[in-house]
Structure 1
């Protein structure tokens, strides 16, 4: 039995960001050269580089490529959503974890024990847990600013926003709105597949597919391998206070301290 204290980092400082960006630029240049020598190769960066085939890149175009590559990595690298999902599952009735385990076991082909992406990517309960976690604790809670066009924009027949106005859609607030969700403060994974079609990701974050793959595999393997519970030395209220009391909006939503017990299950 192991007690893990999951502490959220405050994020990279300025020096760390500069180092990261230089590292990304170096590897993107190497990838561009590899794709030039082996144009048939299919890697994640191929979709970013395909519009540039046969063209001489201007400094501005190179800068856009660097920014897209960095965004792709940052967007799929968020681990705070895993922390929040474990937090909600540890507090939630065990029937949800039991249902998830049964779905994972049923998805495995006969004779196989290793969980693979293709086995679990369409599991309703797993995707419901992830979507419900993202609704309550969106990775980017507030800071998504946009500038309206010079001519302004009509939201509907009655709502007009003038031009050159900074607007924002705070996901943390929208995700907890009673106008949009029944029992918005409750953790209900089933709302995403048993009641109605909630949302289609037709125009979504560039890193979302990779982030979802990461979330599915990590959660599925953890829940399949371990029993997860709160430490006996802390009350439920103390666990919630430690988690919520130290949450910070550092552009990304950083959690507070989370202490959980992971005990390997007998398979």
Structure 2
């Protein structure tokens, strides 16, 4: 290599190093999670522009191959410098440097993804170990902090905070967006929708429950996979809320398209459970959703919303109110299509998970099944039963199911405000930190729920000493972003459990050896809780 070539190369590489350091300073103030494809495009474009410039304006690197080789070296040097600068900053100079946590987690969220794989998709068990090892504040990502005490819940979740990067990686809806002004405006529409329609929607839920009871009747005395039946039930209810028409899974009459969509949703939840740790990858998946299985789901839901819009004399449902209070333009239609998918995917799997847990607990605790049945029998006897009204023992049973196994294992993300966030225990969380309260860990923390590994519904009724801090119970989250579908979920849970145990005894097949430790130890973290498939027997009761 000649002296001119060497000198020019040194200048170029020196400039590349400087550019890498400079880009890191810019990257600190840019939400790169939302622009992965743009960044990739910029890198590729930079390479070809550099090659073009070297080929046409440099006497030293004028050939095609040499200009492309040097351009690749320049881009690689810039990126290597950028990442070296980022990693050094994250490891030793980041505002979160004094919070404890695994060294790998400080450097990259790929550490979390690796733990998902190592734990066989049981990331919550990894978090349990981190909590026990490091305490109430654990750094689980370059700018991510998990918290495990109730003192942080209200400042983080109970107040309006900007949502974390996960919510900005998906299509825009009430739930998946980081725009607080949009959420505030849209949430008013949703709250009014539930308020206006739930009173009339109760009878529809009871109709779906009767269909489920008919399924139990058709398989009476035979083992059935309870996970599948509860998902079919909740999917029918949610599709009715979203589109004004059931998908008829419980009756066994679902179309091939609906069956494929349900399969896609289940696969999608598993994928989200992986990619939620790396939002930019989730963003890429969402951007490319016009191909692959999600394309069918989006096309189908769009068609169903259109049919619901044109439906004459529909029954009261949530989508009807959303349609009436959403502008009929391209943006409004995109939001409605996204929210129809939100209603189904978010509402079906979570309710099905809790119903499955409750049925399994009924089978395991026969005395508990008897006490719940006795309370339900009294309300049926005086004709006062309605799934919209709380019941002491039944609701305690439901609450304990939600406590011991929250249906959503993903910790809600919030970003600390400008100036940082000081908590009641004196801990100051630096600004820009992605904060994740560990709901599962808090629900199963002995400080808040003595004997946390035991299923004890009485802690909600006759044994209040087994709840040390009721604010630790947040299965539907809390604050301005809490789940708007809580009322529907509770109606479904009450309706199904009450009516089922009034007509059936719930038990395990005779050959089943069941333990709570083994069951809950095999739950997978699919964003929602992926319960082990379990067979139960429903036997018609003799009055």
TM-score, length of structure 1 as denominator length: 0.79
Q: Deviations over 1:1-39 (max 9, x none)?
A: 2122345698533554443333223333444456xx98x
> Does 2:526 align with 1:253?
no
Q: Deviations over 1:75-116 (max 9, x none)?
A: 331311111111222222x33211211111111255x6x964
Instruction: Summarize the Cα distance change of 1:129–1:146 in structure 2 as closer, same or farther, 3 Å threshold.
Output: same
Task: Give the superposition deviation at 1:47.
Answer: 4.3
- Equivalent position to 2:400, from 132, 136, 144: 132
After TM superposition, list the pairs within 5 Å mapping 1:43-82 onto structure 2: 43-49=317-323, 51-52=325-326, 55=327, 57=329, 59=331, 61-78=332-349, 79-82=352-355
Paired residue for 1:144?
Answer: 412
Contact map agreement 2:362 2:368 (CA 8 A) in 1:
yes
Alpha-carbon separation, structure 2, partners of 1:116 and 1:187: 26
- Equivalent position to 1:84, from 357, 360, 363: 357
Paired residue for 1:193?
Answer: 461
After TM superposition, list the pairs within 5 Å mapping 1:81-120 onto structure 2: 81-92=354-365, 94-110=366-382, 116-118=386-388
Alpha-carbon separation, structure 2, partners of 1:214 and 1:175: 22
Task: Give the superposition deviation at 1:136.
Answer: 0.9
Which ranges in structure 1 are unaligned for 5 or more consecutive residues?
A: none
After TM superposition, list the pairs within 5 Å mapping 1:7-46 onto structure 2: 12-13=266-267, 15-32=292-309, 42-46=316-320
Structure 1 residue matching 2:266: 3-state secondary structure: coil
Contact map agreement 1:142 1:251 (CA 8 A) in 2:
yes
Contact map agreement 2:227 2:353 (CA 8 A) in 1:
no
Task: Give the superposition deviation at 1:230.
Answer: 2.4
Alpha-carbon separation, structure 1, partners of 2:424 and 2:336: 35
Q: Which has the larger radius of gyration?
A: 2
Q: How many residues align?
A: 254
Task: Give the superposition deviation at 1:169.
Answer: 1.9
Per residue, is there more helix in 1 or in 2? Answer: 2
Instruction: Summarize the Cα distance change of 1:46–1:183 in structure 2 as closer, same or farther, 3 Å threshold.
Output: same
> Does 2:225 align with 1:5?
yes
Contact map agreement 1:153 1:163 (CA 8 A) in 2:
yes
Per residue, is there more strand in 1 or in 2? Answer: 1
Paired residue for 2:541?
Answer: 265
Alpha-carbon separation, structure 2, partners of 1:65 and 1:151: 36
Contact map agreement 2:508 2:536 (CA 8 A) in 1:
yes
The alignment yields a C-alpha RMSD, in angstroms, of 3.2
Task: Give the superposition deviation at 1:216.
Answer: 1.3
Instruction: Summarize the Cα distance change of 1:23–1:147 in structure 2 as closer, same or farther, 3 Å threshold.
Output: farther
Q: Which range moved further: 198-207 or 22-31?
A: 198-207
- Equivalent position to 1:209, from 446, 470, 487: 487
Alpha-carbon separation, structure 2, partners of 1:45 and 1:77: 16
Contact map agreement 1:127 1:216 (CA 8 A) in 2:
yes
Paired residue for 1:181?
Answer: 449
- Equivalent position to 1:167, from 432, 435, 440: 435
Task: Give the superposition deviation at 1:124.
Answer: 1.1
Instruction: Summarize the Cα distance change of 1:129–1:41 in structure 2 as closer, same or farther, 3 Å threshold.
Output: closer
